[in-house]
C-alpha cells in the first residue's frame, strides 16, 4: 500500500501500543511503536519518521523531555503529545511552548487521531510541494530568524526572572534599542521606558515578546524606504490582529487552557512581508490587480493570478515552520483565508483570524463592515461591533515612532 | 528610737525640712532607690526623698513641697480618698494601685505601700508610703493580656474551623486520589475503546469475507461462476487487501488484552470501594491491615509506579477492631508522602518503599519505610504540627500527618512513631491495638 508517512508512537504501556497498531491497520500511514523514549530515539536515529506521538507520563524520560530532545535533534519531525484527559492544560502548554504541534487526549478515538495525523501529513506535504519549493528556491539566502527570540521564549516559558530575561535581549544592542523605540511608540502609549527591564515591567512580558518577535522578523531582511511604508502597513495590521485575537478568542470554549496566548497575530500575514522583500514585482502586481477589484481581498487576487498553493499563506507558513515556531503560528498563517482547512484543534483561532483580517481589510478600504456578515458562533455581536470601532481607531496610529529611516 | 524621732518629727510639723534627723536614717531615706513619701493625717505632704523627686520629675524638694496637698500628685483625687479610707480602717495598705502625675503631666502607674506612724497616745502622727513605678510592668501586663485575648481568640477560631480544615484535608486527598485514579483508568479505557473500534472493523471485514464466500459458492452451485481455483484466488486477494491473516491472528489478542484491561479497571474500582468505605464511614469493623495496604497501593499506584519499587513483607497478623476508613486515610497519607519524597529527589533510579506488618499479643504494627531524603533533625519535631508542610505553597494542607496522628493516637489508642536519617530514609511505624478499647473516642 502506498503510505503517506511514518508515525512513531511512544508509550510505556504495551497494550496501548498494540491497540494503536491494530487501530491504524488500514490507515494511510505506517505505524511504528516504542515502549520508551530511549527506544523512540533509537528508531528516529535508524529510520525516517514524519511524526512522533508520545505519551506524557513515562518513567525515566517523560513526554516533555522526549519532545524537547526530538525538537533539538530532529527538528523536521512533527511532534504530537498524548496525555490523560485531566492533563489537558499540560497538553495545551506543550503547544504554546512549541514542543508539540497538537495533542491527543486519552482515552482517544481512533478516527480523531487519524484525522489529526492526516492533517499534519497533508500540511507537511503542502509546505514541501514542488510548486512552493520552486518559489522558495528562488530566494538566494533564506532569512534566518535571530535565535534571540527563541532564547527569550525559552526563558519566559521556564519562568526565569525579569533580570535574566532582560539580559537576553540586551545581548544584542541593536535589537534592544529597537525594542525600546517600539515600546515608547505612540502605539504603546508613550511609556518612556529607558531600560529593557523597565519595558518588560511596564509593558508586560507578553507585549515584550510581541515586540521582540516583530523586530526579529524585520531584522531577518533588509529594507529600503519604499518597502518600509508597505511594511509599516502590514505590521500595523499585524499589531491590530495581535491585540484583538486573544480578546475574541476568550469567548471560545478552549480559551481557558491558554495560560498565555502566543503572539500568533503578529505573524499571520508574514507571507506578505516575505513576498514584499523577495518578490516585490509579484507583490505589486497582486496589489495593482486588487485595486481594480475592491470586492476581492489579497488572497483571492493571488488565486486569480495563478498563485494557488503558493499564496502568501503558504509562503508565510513555510518560513514560520523553517524558523521553528510553534504549530499554532503555522496553522494561523496557512489558513487565515481558508480556516475550514485548518485542523479542528486550531479552527477557532484560524476562523477568528479570518474574521479580524476581513474587518481590517474592509476598514482600510473605508467600507463600513456589515455586522450581520461578521458572525461567529462563540462571539457576541456587540463584541464584534466594539472590535470594529477599536480597529477603526487603531488604524490611525503608527507603530514605528521614528523608525522610517 | 525611730518612733520617738518620728514623734518629734511630727510635732514640729511646719518645720519638717529643718527637722533634726538622725543622719543615718536621713541617708537611708534619701539613698533608697524607691520613692518614699511622708504625709500628715490631713493629707499634707511632709517629706519626700530624692528618688521620689526624680520619679515625679521635680528639681528640688522646695518646689515639690510647695504643692503641699497630696491630692495633687494623684491623677484621680478619688484614688487618694480611697487610699485614706483604707489607711484609716486598716492602718496599712500593700501595693495600692494609683496613677500619679509627673511635673510635666506624664502619668505613672504606681504601687503605693503605706503604713501608719503612731504617736504615743496611739493616734496617727503620719503615714509613710513607699511608691514604686510599675508603668513598664503594667505595659507588659497589658501586652500579655492582649496576647492572651488574641490567643484565646485564635484558639476559638481554630476550634471552630477544625472540622472544616479536616474536611479540606480530606477533599485534598480525595482530589489527589481522583486525579491518580483518572490516570490509572485512562490507559485501560484508552486501549479498550480503541480495541473495540478495531474489533468493529475486524468484524465488518470478516462478515464481508464470509458474504463474498457465500455469494461465490452459491453462484458456483448454480454453475454460473468461475472455478474453485479462481474463487480461491479471489479469496486470497481479499485476504491480502484487508490484512485478514493479521486480523485472524490478532483478534484473540485483542479480546484477551481488552479483558485484561477490564480486569484492571475492576480491580481499581474494587480497591477504591474498599478504600473509601462509603457505606460505613465511622463504624467499627474487623480490619485486615495487609488487605488494606494492598488496596491503598492500587489507589496510589499512579503516585508510586514511576518513583519506587514496593517491597512487601507482610506477616500473618490478626484482624484489628478499628474504624477502617480512618486507618486507610493514614496509610494512604504516609505512603503518598513517601512516594512524593522520593519524587522530590529527582533520582536516576527508582527508590524503594517498604511495607512490613507484624503483631504481638496486644498490638499490630505496620512499618512504612522509604529510602528517600529523610527528615532533617530540625523539623522532625514539627511534622505532626498542624499546617506544617515542606511542600510548596498550595501543594499540601500541612494537615495530613497531624490528622493521621490524631486518628492513630487519640482515636484508636495506638501510636505513630517516626525514625529518619537524612539521605538514608524514613520509617513510620503505626501501632494499633488489636482490641478496641472503649471510651477512647471523643
| pLDDT number for residue A53 | 97
Q: How far apart are CA A288 and CA A20, in angstroms?
A: 52
Question: B261–A15: do the CB atoms touch at under 8 Å?
Answer: yes
B242 touches chain A (CB under 8 A): yes
Query: Of B190, B198, B253, which has the smallest distance from its Cβ to A107's Cβ?
Result: B190
- A152 closest CA partner among A166, A140, A139: A166
Residue A20 in contact with partner chain B when CB distance is under 8 A = yes
Q: Which residues of B touch A109 (CB under 8 A)?
A: 193, 197
**Residues B197, A26: C-beta atoms closer than 8 Å:** no
DSSP β-bridge partners for residue A79 = A52
CA closest to A111 among chain B residues? B197
The residue of B177, B182, B198, B261 whose CB has the most chain A CBs within 10 angstroms, and thus the best one to mutate to test that interface, is B198
- Whether chain B has a CB inside 8 Å of the CB on A16: the answer is yes
B263 inside 8 A of chain A by CB: no
Please state the separation of Cα A7 from the chain's center in Å: 23
Instruction: Report the distance separating Cα A276 and Cα A290, nearest Å.
Output: 15
CA distances B83 to A130, B52, B68, B108, B137, Å, are 112, 19, 17, 17, 21
**pLDDT value at position A30?**
94
Does the distance separating the beta carbons of B193 and A13 come in below 8 Å?
A: no
For the sheet containing B363-370, what is the strand order?
A: B308-313, B351-359, B363-370, B425-433, B415-421
Rounded to 5 degrees, φ, ψ at B213 are -60, -45
Cβ neighbours of B254 in A, within 8 Å: 19, 22
Distance CA B201, CA B333 (A): 46
Quote the pLDDT of residue A271. Answer: 94
pLDDT in tens, chain A (405 residues): 456 899 999 999 999 999 999 999 989 999 999 999 999 999 999 999 999 999 988 888 889 999 999 998 998 899 999 988 767 777 888 887 888 988 898 889 999 999 999 999 999 888 988 899 999 999 888 888 878 888 888 888 878 888 888 888 888 888 888 888 877 877 676 667 788 888 877 778 888 888 888 888 888 888 888 888 888 889 889 989 998 999 999 999 888 777 777 788 999 999 999 999 999 999 999 999 988 888 888 999 999 999 999 999 999 999 998 888 888 999 999 999 999 999 888 899 999 999 999 999 988 888 888 878 888 889 998 999 999 989 988 887 655 544 433
The C-alpha cell at A271 is 507571507
Supply the pLDDT for residue A4. Answer: 83
Q: Are A146 and A175 in contact (CB under 8 A)?
A: yes
In chain A, what residues touch B186 (CB-CB under 8 Å)? 84-85, 106-107
Q: Which residues of chain B have pLDDT under 50?
A: 1-19, 278-279, 439-442
Res B1: pLDDT: 42
Cβ–Cβ < 8 Å for B335, B296:
yes
- Chain B residues within an 8 Å CB radius of A108: 190, 193-194
Helix, coil or strand: residue A50: coil
Question: What letter does residue A308 receive in the DSSP assignment?
Answer: T
CA dihedral B275, B281, B286, B291 (to 10 degrees): 0
B7, containing H or E segment: helix B2-11
Whether residues B182 and A85 touch (CB distance < 8 A) is answered with yes
The pTM is what?
0.67
> What was the pLDDT predicted at B277?
55
CA proximity to B184, closest of B92, B302, B90: B302
- Whether complex ipTM tops 0.85: no
Residues of A in contact with B179 (CB under 8 A): 86
CA distance B181 to chain A (A): 11
Task: Return the pLDDT at A1.
Answer: 43
* CB-based contact B186 A15, cutoff 8 Å: no
Rounded Cα gap, residues A241 and A237, in angstroms? 6
At residue B343, what are phi and psi to the nearest 5 degrees? -65, -35
Q: How far apart are CA B186 and CA B411, in angstroms?
A: 37
Which of A15, A19, A58 is the closest to B198 by Cβ?
A19
Backbone angles phi, psi at A284, to 5 degrees: -65, -40
Rounded to whole angstroms, the Cα distance separating A240 from A128 reads 31
Q: Considering only CB atoms, which chain A residues are within 8 Å of B184?
A: none
Residues near B336 by beta carbon (within 8 Å), at least 6 away in sequence: B173, B176, B300, B303
Nearest to A84 among B183, B191, B201 (CB): B183
Q: Is A159 on the interface with B (CB under 8 A)?
A: no
Contact (CB<8Å) A110/B197: yes
The answer to whether A87 and A114 have CB atoms below 8 angstroms apart is no
In this complex, is the C-beta atom of B194 within 8 Å of any C-beta atom belonging to chain A?
yes
Q: How many A×B Cβ pairs under 8 Å?
A: 73
Q: How far is A363 from chain B (nearest CA, A)?
A: 48
> Residue B144 has which C-alpha cell?
500579655
CB pair distance less than 8 Å for A86 and B189: no
The alpha carbon of residue B230 and the mean position of all alpha carbons in its chain are separated, in whole angstroms, by 83
**A111 contacts chain B (CB < 8 A):** yes
Q: Are B189 and A107 a contacting pair at CB < 8 A?
A: yes
The Cα–Cα gap between B127 and B219 comes to 140
**Within 10 A of B165 (CB to CB), how many other CB atoms are there?**
17
In chain A, residues with a C-beta closer than 8 Å to the C-beta of B197 are 23, 109-111
Give the span between the Cα atoms of A330 and B44, in whole angstroms. Answer: 100
Amino acid at each position: 500500500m502506498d503510505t503517506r508517512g511514518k508515525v512513531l508512537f511512544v508509550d510505556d504501556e504495551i497494550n496501548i501500543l498494540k491497540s494503536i497498531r491494530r487501530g491504524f491497520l488500514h490507515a494511510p500511514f505506517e505505524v511504528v511503536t516504542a515502549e520508551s523514549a530511549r527506544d523512540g530515539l533509537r528508531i528516529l536515529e535508524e529510520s525516517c519518521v514524519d511524526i512522533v506521538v508520545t505519551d506524557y507520563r513515562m518513567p525515566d524520560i517523560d513526554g516533555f523531555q522526549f519532545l524537547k530532545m526530538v525538537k533539538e535533534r530532529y527538528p523536521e519531525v512533527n511532534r504530537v503529545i498524548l496525555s490523560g484527559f485531566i492533563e489537558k492544560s499540560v497538553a495545551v502548554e506543550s503547544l504554546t511552548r512549541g514542543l508539540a504541534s497538537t495533542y491527543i487526549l486519552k482515552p482517544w478515538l481512533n478516527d480523531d487521531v487519524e484525522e489529526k495525523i492526516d492533517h499534519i501529513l497533508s500540511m507537511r506535504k503542502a509546505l514541501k510541494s514542488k510548486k512552493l519549493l520552486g518559489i522558495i528556491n528562488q530566494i538566494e539566502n533564506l532569512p534566518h530568524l535571530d535565535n534571540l527570540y527563541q532564547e527569550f521564549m525559552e526563558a519566559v516559558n521556564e519562568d526565569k526572572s525579569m533580570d535574566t530575561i532582560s539580559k537576553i535581549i540586551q545581548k544584542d544592542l541593536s535589537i534592544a534599542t529597537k525594542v525600546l523605540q517600539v515600546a515608547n511608540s505612540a502605539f504603546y502609549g508613550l511609556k518612556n521606558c529607558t531600560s529593557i527591564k523597565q519595558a518588560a515591567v511596564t509593558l508586560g512580558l507578553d507585549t515584550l515578546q510581541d515586540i521582540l518577535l516583530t523586530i526579529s522578523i524585520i531584522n531577518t531582511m533588509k529594507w529600503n524606504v519604499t518597502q518600509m511604508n508597505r511594511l509599516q502597513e502590514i505590521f500595523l495590521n499585524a499589531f491590530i490582529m495581535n491585540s484583538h485575537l486573544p480578546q475574541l478568542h476568550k469567548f471560545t470554549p478552549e480559551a481557558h487552557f491558554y495560560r498565555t496566548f502566543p503572539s500568533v497575530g503578529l505573524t499571520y500575514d508574514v507571507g506578505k512581508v516575505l513576498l514584499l522583500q523577495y518578490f516585490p514585482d509579484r507583490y505589486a502586481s497582486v496589489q495593482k490587480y486588487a485595486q481594480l477589484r475592491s470586492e476581492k481581498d489579497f488572497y483571492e487576487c493571488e488565486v486569480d493570478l495563478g498563485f494557488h498553493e503558493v499564496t502568501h499563506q503558504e509562503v508565510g507558513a513555510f518560513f514560520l515552520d523553517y524558523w521553528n515556531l510553534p504549530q499554532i503560528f503555522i496553522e494561523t498563517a496557512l489558513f487565515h483565508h481558508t480556516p475550514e482547512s485548518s485542523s479542528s484543534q486550531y479552527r477557532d483561532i484560524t476562523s477568528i483570524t479570518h474574521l479580524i483580517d476581513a474587518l481590517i481589510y474592509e476598514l482600510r478600504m473605508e467600507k463600513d463592515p456589515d455586522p450581520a456578515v461578521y458572525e461567529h458562533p462563540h462571539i457576541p455581536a456587540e463584541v464584534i461591533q466594539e472590535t470594529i470601532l477599536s480597529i477603526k481607531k487603531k488604524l490611525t496610529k503608527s507603530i514605528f515612532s521614528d523608525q522610517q529611516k | 528610737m525611730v518612733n520617738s524621732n518620728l514623734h518629734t518629727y511630727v510635732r514640729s510639723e511646719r518645720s519638717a525640712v529643718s527637722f533634726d534627723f538622725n543622719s543615718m536614717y536621713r541617708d537611708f531615706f534619701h539613698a533608697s532607690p524607691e520613692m518614699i513619701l511622708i504625709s500628715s493625717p490631713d493629707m499634707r505632704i511632709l517629706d519626700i526623698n530624692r528618688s521620689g523627686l526624680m520619679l515625679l520629675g521635680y528639681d528640688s524638694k522646695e518646689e515639690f513641697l510647695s504643692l503641699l496637698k497630696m491630692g495633687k500628685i494623684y491623677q484621680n483625687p478619688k484614688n487618694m480618698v480611697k487610699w485614706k479610707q483604707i489607711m484609716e480602717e486598716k492602718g496599712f495598705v500593700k501595693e495600692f494601685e494609683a496613677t500619679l502625675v509627673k511635673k510635666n503631666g506624664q502619668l505613672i502607674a504606681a504601687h503605693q505601700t503605706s503604713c501608719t506612724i503612731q504617736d504615743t497616745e496611739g493616734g496617727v502622727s503620719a503615714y509613710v508610703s513607699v511608691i514604686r513605678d510599675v508603668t513598664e510592668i503594667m505595659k507588659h501586663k497589658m501586652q500579655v493580656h492582649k496576647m492572651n485575648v488574641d490567643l484565646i481568640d485564635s484558639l476559638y477560631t481554630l476550634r471552630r474551623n477544625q472540622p472544616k480544615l479536616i474536611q479540606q484535608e480530606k477533599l485534598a486527598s480525595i482530589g489527589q486520589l481522583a486525579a491518580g485514579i483518572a490516570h490509572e483508568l485512562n490507559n485501560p479505557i484508552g486501549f479498550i475503546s480503541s480495541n473495540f473500534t478495531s474489533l468493529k472493523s475486524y468484524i465488518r471485514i470478516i462478515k464481508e469475507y464470509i458474504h463474498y464466500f457465500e455469494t461465490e459458492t452459491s453462484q458456483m452451485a448454480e454453475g454460473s461462476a468461475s472455478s474453485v481455483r479462481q474463487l480461491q484466488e479471489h479469496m486470497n486477494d481479499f485476504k491480502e487487501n484487508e490484512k485478514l491473516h493479521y486480523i485472524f491472528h490478532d483478534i484473540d489478542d485483542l479480546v484477551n488484552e481488552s479483558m485484561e484491561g477490564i480486569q484492571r479497571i475492576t480491580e481499581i474500582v474494587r480497591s477504591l470501594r474498599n478504600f473509601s468505605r462509603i457505606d460505613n464511614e465511622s463504624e467499627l469493623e474487623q480490619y485486615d491491615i495487609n488487605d488494606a495496604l494492598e488496596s491503598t497501593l492500587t489507589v496510589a499506584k499512579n503516585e508510586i509506579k514511576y518513583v519506587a519499587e514496593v517491597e512487601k513483607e507482610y506477616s500473618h497478623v490478626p484482624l484489628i477492631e478499628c474504624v477502617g476508613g480512618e486507618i486507610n486515610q493514614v496509610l494512604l497519607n504516609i505512603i503518598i508522602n513517601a512516594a512524593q519524597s522520593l519524587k522530590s529527589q529527582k533520582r536516576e533510579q527508582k527508590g524503594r518503599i517498604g511495607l512490613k506488618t507484624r503483631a504481638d499479643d496486644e498490638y499490630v504494627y505496620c512499618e512504612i519505610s522509604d529510602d528517600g531524603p529523610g527528615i532533617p533533625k530540625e523539623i522532625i519535631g514539627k511534622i505532626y504540627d498542624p499546617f506544617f508542610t515542606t511542600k510548596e505553597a498550595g501543594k499540601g494542607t500541612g494537615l495530613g500527618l497531624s490528622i493521621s496522628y490524631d486518628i492513630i493516637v487519640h482515636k484508636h489508642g495506638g501510636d505513630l512513631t517516626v525514625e529518619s536519617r537524612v539521605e538514608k530514609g524514613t520509617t513510620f511505624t503505626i501501632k494499633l491495638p488489636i482490641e478496641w478499647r472503649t471510651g477512647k473516642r471523643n
